[in-house]
Amino acid sequence: MSQPCQLKVIDSETRNAIPFAMVKISGPDNSREQKFLADSFGNLKINTAGKSILRAEALGYKRITDTVFPGIIREIFMEPDHVELGAIVVTGHIVPQSADKSIYRINVIDQSIIEKKAANTLADALRGELAFNSQSDGALGDFIRIQGLTGEHIKLLVDGLPVTGRVGGIIDLGQINSGNIEQIEVVEGPMSVVYGSNAMAGVINIITKTPDPSSVYAQLQAYYETVGIYNISGAASTSFRNQSISLNIGRNFNNGWSPDKNSRSKYYKPKEQYTGDFTYKYQAKKISFSAQSNIMREQLRDLDDVHTSFVNVTNDSAYITYLASDYYYFTTRSNSQTSFIYKPNNRSALQIQAGYSYYNKSKKCMLKDLVTLHENLASNASLSDTSIFHMIPLRAVYSNIFNNKYEIQSGIDYNYEQSQGERTGGEQNITDAALFSTFIYKPYRNFSIQPGLRVIYNSDFEAPLVYSMNVQYNIGRFNLRASYGKGFRAPSLKELYMEFVDNNHHIFGNEDLKAETGVNISFSAGASFNPGSVRLIPSFSLFQNTIYNAIQLALDPDRAGWGYYFNISESKFKTVGTRVELKTYLGDYLWVNSGINILGKTSLIQTNEFKYSEDIVLQISYSIPQIKLESSVQYKHNGKYYDYAGTFDSDFKLNGVQEQFIEGYNLLDISLTRRFFDNKCTLSAGIKNIFDVTTIDSSGLLNAHSGGDFTLAGYGRSFFVKLIYRFHKDEK
C-alpha cells in the first residue's frame, strides 16, 4: 500500500527553498519512473509503496540521487553548481526562464554577489559592475549611467512596477535598501515597448525575496564600517499551507564624511534611515497572489559652515556669536503593490498588477546659534518647503505559447503621477496610458524573432508609435542577439516645474520642454566552452543610442550648482559603445570575471565627433568549502569620463556648450566571508576603497552634482564587518 512522502528541496548553502525543482521517483530497478515538480516553496508530496530511487535536478544545482521510503518527512539538500550557466529571470516575461534563453540580454546580480560586496543599498550592489558608471552627490545621493545615459532614461522597477521620487532627474539608489532583494535584473537597451517611458537606456528590476519555506524563519543582521556607518536589521517569515508572510525592518546610520574632520559642512551629508517591508503571498496550483508594501524614512542634515555675527544685547554692549544656516531634509518613500497571476496551464498566463508609490521630501532651514546651541526656523519662508509625489501604476499582461513556435504577450499600462508643493507650482499631474504587444516567432528551434508595438496616450504631449525588433539565434555554443527599438519619453513633472534649492544647488524646471524620442540599436554575442574542469563564458556587445530633443541640464558657469533644463532641438545626441567580458569558472571553487567597456559620446552640437572613455573590471571569488570560507576581490578602473553641458546667462538664455570631464580613478575592495554553526551564522569582513580615493578632479565649475572643480568618488579607505544570523524552525 502506497503512503505519501513529504519532501522539501533545499539549497545546501543558504537553506533557502529551490522552487520548481524536478524530482523523479522510480523503483529500485529504475522501473516505473514518475515525475514530480516542487511548488514555489520547494515542497512536494509523492506516493510510494516501498523503497524508491529519487533523482532531483534544478537549474543552477548539481543533480543528486537518493533513496526514499513510504511515509517519510525529510529535506532534500542540493548543492549549487557554480559553473552552470543561466540564472532564472522574469523581467520582460511572465513565465520565469533561464537568462541565456531569454530573447533579451539580461544581466543578473544575485544574492551571492550582493553578499560578497557587503552591500547595504542598491547603490552598493551596482557599484563596481561593468555595465554601470556610478556617481555620488553628497545631497542628491547615488545614481548610475547605462550606455552613457542616466536619470530619466533608466526605468527602476520593483517586481515589475515603477518607482517614483526623482530629484534633479535621478532616483537616489542609496534610499533603496538591499535587505529584501532576491536579485537584480538589468536589461540594457530598448525596453520602451514593454515598459514605456524612461526605459530608453534600460531597465533595472528589483526582485524581492520570497518568504522562506520553513514554518518559522528569522534573521538578524548588523553592519559596521569605520567611516561612521552603523546598520542593523531584522527579518522574520512564516508559511502555512499555501500562504506565507514576511516582515523586514532596519535602521541605517551614516555619520557623513569630509576631508576636514573638524568641518561642520560635510561632502557626504549625515543621514539616518528607517526601513520596513511587509509581504504576503498565496500560491496555489494555478493561481498566485501577493501583496507587499515597503517604506523608507530618511533624515539628512546639510550643515552649514560657521559664520560670524555681532548681536547687540544692550545699547552699551554686544557679544559675538557664531551662526550657521543648517538645512534638514526629511524624506518618506513608500511603495505598495498587489499582483495576481493566473496560469491555467504551462503555456499561458495572465498577470494583473496595481500599485501606489508615494514620495514626500520636506526641507527646513534652521538658524543655529553655535554658542547657545539654540535653533530657530529661518524667517524666510522660501528656504523651507515640502514636495509630494504620488504615482498609481496599473498593468495587465497576457502571455500565450502556441505550438512551441509562437508566443504572444499583450498588455495595458497605465501610470498617473501627481506632484504637490510650492516648488512644483502647486498641484501638477500627468497621465500616461498604453496598449502594447510583442510577438515571438520561432521558425526553427534555435532562431527567434520578436517584433513589438506600443500605442501611447499622454495627457500633456503627443506620443508617436513606439516599436521594436529583437532577434536571437543559437549556433551550437554561441548565442547571438540583435535589437532595434524606438523610445518615447515625456518630460517629468520635476523637469517641467521643479525648483530645487539647497546650500549647493539651485535647479529650475522648464515648462516649455518638448518630449524626447530615441532609437537604440544593439548587438551581442555570447558563448560557453568547457575545456576540462574549466568553464569559459565570453561575451561581446555593441550599441548606439540616438536621442532627439534630448533634455539636458544647462549650467551657469559663474554660479556653481545653478542649472535649468532645456531641449537640444538643433541636433541629435548620440552615445556608442562596446563591451568585452569573460567569465571563468575553475571547478566549483574559483570564479573570475574580467572585462572592458568603451563608451563614446557626442557633444550637444557636433553629432559626428565622439569622446571615448573606458572602464575595466576584474572580480575574483575563491571558496574553500572544507572550512566554509570565501574570499572576494572587486576591482574597477573608471576611465576619464567626458560629458557636455549647455550654459546660460542671467536671463536664462542658452549661450554655448562646454565640455566637462571627470578624471579616471581606481577602486579596489577585498572581503572574506565565513559560515558557522551549520550555515546559520555568516561573518564578513574586509577593506573597501583600498586606494583611498575620495575626490577626483573635474573640469571647471560645470559639475552640477558637486558644485566645484571635483567630483565625489568615495569615503576613502575603510574597514567593515557584517554579521548575519539565521534561525529556522522547520514545520513537521
CA neighbours closer than 13 Å in the CB half-sphere of residue 349: 19
pLDDT for res 367: 87
pLDDT confidence tier of residue 167, bands split at 50, 70 and 90: low
Model confidence at 567, in pLDDT bands (50, 70, 90)? confident
**Model confidence at 138: pLDDT above 70:** no
Predicted pLDDT of residue 691: 95
719 pLDDT exceeds 60?
yes
Domain boundaries, the chain: 3-78, 204-316+327-729
Query: What local confidence, expressed as pLDDT, does residue 433 receive?
Result: 95
How far apart (Å, rounded) are the C-alpha atoms in residues 197 and 490?
7
H-run or E-run covering 368: strand 348-369
Pairing of strands 629-638, 610-624: antiparallel
- Tell me the C-alpha distance between 116 and 262, whole Å: 33
Q: How many residues belong to the chain?
A: 732
Chain-centroid distance, C-alpha 375? 38
Give the three-state DSSP class for 691. Answer: coil
Q: What is the pLDDT of residue 702?
A: 45
Sign of the torsion formed by the C-alpha atoms of 424, 425, 426 and 427: negative
Q: What is the pLDDT of residue 503?
A: 59
CATH of 3-78, one of 2.60.40.10, 3.20.20.10, 3.40.630.10, 3.30.70.580: 2.60.40.10
Predicted confidence (pLDDT) per residue in 21-43, tens digit = 888 888 776 667 777 878 767 78
Residue 85 pLDDT > 50: no
Whether residue 244 has pLDDT greater than 90: no
| pLDDT, average across residues 66-88 | 72
**Mean pLDDT for the chain overall:** 83
Q: Is the pLDDT of residue 544 over 80?
A: yes
With a cut of 90, say whether residue 240 has pLDDT above it. Answer: no
pLDDT higher than 50, residue 15: yes
- The three-state secondary structure class of 446 is coil
Report the number of secondary-structure helices (H) and strands (E) in the chain: 4, 49
**Model pLDDT, residue 484:** 93
Three-class SS string for 309-341?
EEEECCCCCEEEEEEEEEEEEEEEEEEEEEEEE
Least confidently predicted of 225-239, 483-497, 528-542, 643-657 = 643-657
- Measuring CA to CA, which residue among 621, 624, 598, 628 is closest to residue 611? 598
Residue 611: pLDDT band (50, 70, 90) is: confident
User: Measured between alpha carbons, how far is 400 from 397 in angstroms, rounded to an integer?
Assistant: 10
60 vs 395, higher pLDDT: 395
- Which helix (H) or strand (E) segment holds residue 124: the answer is helix 122-126
pLDDT at 308 over 70: no
**Confidence at residue 71, expressed as pLDDT on a 0 to 100 scale:** 78
Query: What is the model's pLDDT at position 257?
Result: 87
CA dihedral (657, 658, 659, 661) in degrees, to 10, reads: -130
Judged by average pLDDT, the poorest of 40-54, 241-255, 474-488 is: 40-54
Confidence of residue 597 (pLDDT cuts 50, 70, 90): very high
pLDDT band for position 166 (cuts 50, 70, 90): low
- Mean pLDDT check: name the lowest of 76-90, 148-162, 252-266, 461-475: 76-90
Give, in words, the CATH class of 204-316+327-729.
Answer: mainly beta
Minimum mean pLDDT range among 178-182, 476-480, 666-670: 178-182
Per residue in 376-414, pLDDT (tens digit) is 888 887 778 888 889 999 999 999 888 778 889 999 999
Mean pLDDT on 352-375: 88
Could you give the angle at the alpha carbon of 437 between the alpha carbons of 435 and 439, nearest 5°? 175
- Given this model, what pLDDT does residue 102 score? 82
The residue among 136 and 278 whose pLDDT is bigger is: 278
| pLDDT greater than 90 at residue 57 | no
Residue 203: phi and psi, rounded to 5, are: -130, 135
Position with higher pLDDT, 649 vs 691 = 691
Grid coordinates standing for 616? 575595466
Res. 315: pLDDT tops 70: no
- Which of 146-150, 204-208, 448-452, 601-605 bottoms out in mean pLDDT, i.e. has the lowest? 601-605
Quote the CA–CA distance of 389 and 418 in Å, as a whole number.
Answer: 6
Q: Which of 123-127, 339-343, 666-670 has the lowest mean pLDDT?
A: 123-127
With a cut of 90, say whether residue 541 has pLDDT above it. yes
**Coil, strand or helix: which one is 452?**
strand
Instruction: Supply 324's cell numbers.
Output: 550657521
State the DSSP H helix or E strand holding residue 696, giving kind and residue range, or none if neither: strand 695-697
380: number of Cβ within 10 Å: 10
CB atoms within 10 A of CB 40: 15
The neighbouring-strand residues paired with 460 are none
User: 607 CB contacts (<8 Å, ≥6 apart)?
Assistant: 571, 572, 573, 574
Position 670 scores a pLDDT of: 95
The helix (run of H) or strand (run of E) holding residue 350 is strand 348-369
